[in-house]
Structure 1
C-alpha cells in the first residue's frame, strides 16, 4: 500500500474537521464511495463498462446473462412449484448500471415468457446517482415489473426468489489492520495541514474493544491466524466487519430461495499471509488499478477481496445454508460456455466481426487475469427436502458434460 500524502478535497476536509481530523479507514471508504453528493457511487460519478472505469461480466455483453439464466430458471422453477400462487422475485443488490437486470428481462421474455409473467425484478440500490442511471437503462422494458427498495424494506415484507450479489461485497467498507510494534492496530485516515495546504495521511490507533473482540471470536471460529506467522511490522490487511450485518439483512429479506454471491475472494491461507503484506485493497479508475486508495476520494472505486472462510462463516451464522462454490470459469463451463463458443463458429461470414467481439468477451469471462478469478457462492434460504439420493447440486456446481 502506497504511503499517501495526497491533497484533501474541501468537502472531505470539512467532514474530517467535524470528526476530530481522523477517522477509521472504513469511514473514509464509506464517504468516498457513498456520499450522495461527492461519492463515487453516491453521486453516480463512476461508469461501469468497457469505456468506463472498470468492467463487470454483464457490461461485456449479454452472453454472461444468457449463461446465468439457465441457473436462475432452474432455481425459479423449483420455487414456482413450491409457491404456486406466489409472485417470485429476482433481487439484484448493487445493480451497477442495470445491465444484468435489463439483459435478464429480455432473455426471460424470449425464452421463458410464462415464467416472466410471475416475476418481479427488485433493484436494491442505496446510491441515488446510480439509481437514476438504472431507471434510464430499464426504460422501455415495460413487460416486467421492476421496483427499487432497500434490504431493510424487503426485510419488512420478505420475498420468495433469488437474490444476486454480483461484485457487491468487495465494495463494502472494510477496516484496515496494520501490525505495529508487534500488535495489530487500526489504520486511520488523518487530515494534515501544513503551509495552508491540507492533505490525507495514514495514521494508527489502538483497536477499539468491540473490534478486538470481533476479530478474536471470528478468528477462532474460522481458524484464522492474525497476524500470520512471519509477518513483520508494517504488514497490513482488511477486515470485513460489514459482512455480518449484510448477511443478516439479506437473510431477513428472503423468505425462501437462493442467494448467489459472485465476487473476488481468497482462502484465508492466502488472504492472511505474511507473503501478502499490503492486503488486497485497490482503487480503480479509467480501467487502471492503483494501490493509492486515498487519492481523489469520490473519483475512484475502492475494493477489497473477500476471505472465503470468513464469508462462509458469517453466512452460516446469519442462517444461510452454504451449497458450494467454484471459480467463474468452472461455473460458466457447467452452464454451457463451450457450446456457446462453438455456436459462434457457425455464424455466417458477414457476422465475423460480431462473432470475434463475442468470443473475446466470453474468453475474458474465464481468463484468470481478468474476470475468471471471480468466485461463485450459492446459499439456500430454506433447502428442499433431500431425496434418497440426496440433494442434487445446482447446475453451475456440476461437472460439465
Structure 2
C-alpha cells in the first residue's frame, strides 16, 4: 500500500485540497493516519498527556456524576453510560471500576475496528459498541454521554481574512497554503458569522465536523446529560487579535508548534474548541446548557460528594497529586474546559 506522503502527493497532484481533507487523511487514514492505525501511547511515553493519563481519579469523578444522573432519572433499568473517543478503553475501565457493582450499562461509540479490538482486550464483555452517534437514535432511552478531548481532533477548515472578505486556505502539492473560494456552501454560510474587523491575514479554524456531531447527539433517543471535556475558548478569546494565526497546532513528543504540514501522519494535529459556537448549535437543536466552566472549577464541584464522604480523612498522596493535576490552574484546571448539556428525550 502506498505511504501517506505518496497518497497525499497523488491527491494533491490534481489540485489543491481544503485543509480539512488533508487533516482527515493525516489523522484518520486507516493504515497511515496518526489515529487510524490504532491507539497511540499517551502520557510520559507518548506525544501528550490527558486527564485520563493522570490516573483513575478522572474516571471516578465521572462515575460519581453518572450515578447522580441515573438517580435523578429515577434509576431506569436501561440507563447507559455512553462514551465516544474512548481510545484504548482506560477511561471506561476507570469509570466501571468506580461504579462498585452498580447495574449501569456502558456503551462505546467507536468506528475503528482496531480501537474496538484494543478496548475489548481491556474491558471484555463489560461494554458494548456501536459505530457512530447516529446509531443512538434507536436507543437507549436514558443515558449519560461523555467524551474527553474528542472534537478538538475533528478535521477543520482553515479560513483567512484578506482585509475585505474571508477565504478558505487550501494545501498545494508543495505542501504550502494558498487562498481560494469556499469549498462548500455550508462553510460559506458559517463564515458569515465571523468578525470582519480583524487585521488582514488573521487565520481561524471552522469546525464543521463539530457542528454535525452535536446535531447528531441532539437527535439521539436518550434523555439525560452530555459531558464534554476539551481545551477550548469562548468566542471573544477565540477571535482575539493575539491569536491571529489561529489555534491549530502540531504535537509530537510533548512539543507543540505550528508546523502543521510537516510529518503528516506521524504527529497529532489539534485545535481549540470554540465553546461559544458549540453551545449555540447545541441550544439551537434542543439541548440546554446546564454547566460550563474551567475544568478545575467544574471537577471541583463534581468532587464535592466524594470529598464529603471522606469525613475529614486526608487524601492519599497519589490521589491528591491526581486531583491537583486535574484541577489546579497551573496544570489542567485552566487549560481545559467542561460543558454539561441537558438532553430531553427526542
Is the pair's TM-score, using the shorter chain for normalization, greater than 0.5?
Answer: yes
Q: Distance in 1 between matches of 2:9 and 2:16?
A: 10
SS in 2 for 1:296: coil
Which residue matches 2:295?
328
Which residue matches 1:275?
242
Which residue matches 1:389?
none
Question: Does the 8 Å CA contact 1:120/1:145 hold for their aligned counterparts?
Answer: yes
Which residue matches 2:187?
211
**Residue pairs, 1:87-106, within 5 angstroms:** 87-106=78-97
Does structure 1 residue 133 correspond to structure 2 residue 118? yes
Which residue matches 2:195?
226
Which residue matches 2:147?
165
Structure 1 residue 47: Cα displacement: 2.1
CA-based RMSD:
2.5
Which stretch shows the higher mean deviation, 282-291 or 358-367?
A: 358-367
Structure 1 residue 8: Cα displacement: 7.7
Question: Does the 8 Å CA contact 2:39/2:88 hold for their aligned counterparts?
Answer: no
SS in 2 for 1:280: coil
Question: Does the 8 Å CA contact 1:45/1:299 hold for their aligned counterparts?
Answer: no
State the TM-score, normalizing by the size of structure 2.
0.89
Question: Does the 8 Å CA contact 1:34/1:127 hold for their aligned counterparts?
Answer: no
Which residue matches 1:222?
none
Question: Does the 8 Å CA contact 2:166/2:191 hold for their aligned counterparts?
Answer: no
SS in 1 for 2:222: strand
State the TM-score, normalizing by the size of structure 1.
0.78
Q: Distance in 1 between matches of 2:15 and 2:86?
A: 34
The equivalent position to 1:11 in structure 2, one of 7, 11, 27, is 7
Q: Distance in 2 between matches of 1:181 and 1:8?
A: 35
Consecutive unaligned residues of structure 1, counting only runs of 5 or more, are 1-6, 193-199, 220-224, 348-354, 384-401
**Residue pairs, 1:1-400, within 5 angstroms:** 9-17=5-13, 20-44=14-38, 46-81=40-75, 83=76, 86-108=77-99, 110=100, 113=101, 116-117=102-103, 119-139=104-124, 142=125, 144-192=126-174, 200-208=175-183, 209-216=185-192, 219=193, 225-227=194-196, 229=197, 231-336=198-303, 339=307, 345=314, 355=317, 357-372=318-333, 373-382=335-344
SS in 2 for 1:60: coil
SS in 2 for 1:121: strand
What CA deviation, in whole Å up to 9, does each residue of 1:210-269 have, x standing for no partner?
Answer: 4222322xx2xxxxx523x3x322211111212221111112224211111111121111
What CA deviation, in whole Å up to 9, does each residue of 1:48-72 have, x standing for no partner?
Answer: 2232121111121111122222211
Q: Distance in 2 between matches of 1:262 and 1:177?
A: 25
Structure 1 residue 342: Cα displacement: 10
Q: Distance in 1 between matches of 2:331 and 2:6?
A: 36
Q: Distance in 1 between matches of 2:207 and 2:249?
A: 15
Q: Distance in 1 between matches of 2:164 and 2:341?
A: 38
Mark the CA change 1:304 to 1:72 in structure 2 (over 3 Å): closer, same or farther.
same
Question: Does the 8 Å CA contact 1:161/1:254 hold for their aligned counterparts?
Answer: no
Which residue matches 1:397?
none
Q: Distance in 1 between matches of 2:141 and 2:264?
A: 36
Mark the CA change 1:66 to 1:286 in structure 2 (over 3 Å): closer, same or farther.
same
Structure 1 residue 203: Cα displacement: 1.4
Consecutive unaligned residues of structure 2, counting only runs of 5 or more, are none
Mark the CA change 1:88 to 1:233 in structure 2 (over 3 Å): closer, same or farther.
same
Mark the CA change 1:45 to 1:285 in structure 2 (over 3 Å): closer, same or farther.
farther
Mark the CA change 1:58 to 1:214 in structure 2 (over 3 Å): closer, same or farther.
same
Q: Distance in 2 between matches of 1:302 and 1:343?
A: 43
Structure 1 residue 321: Cα displacement: 1.5
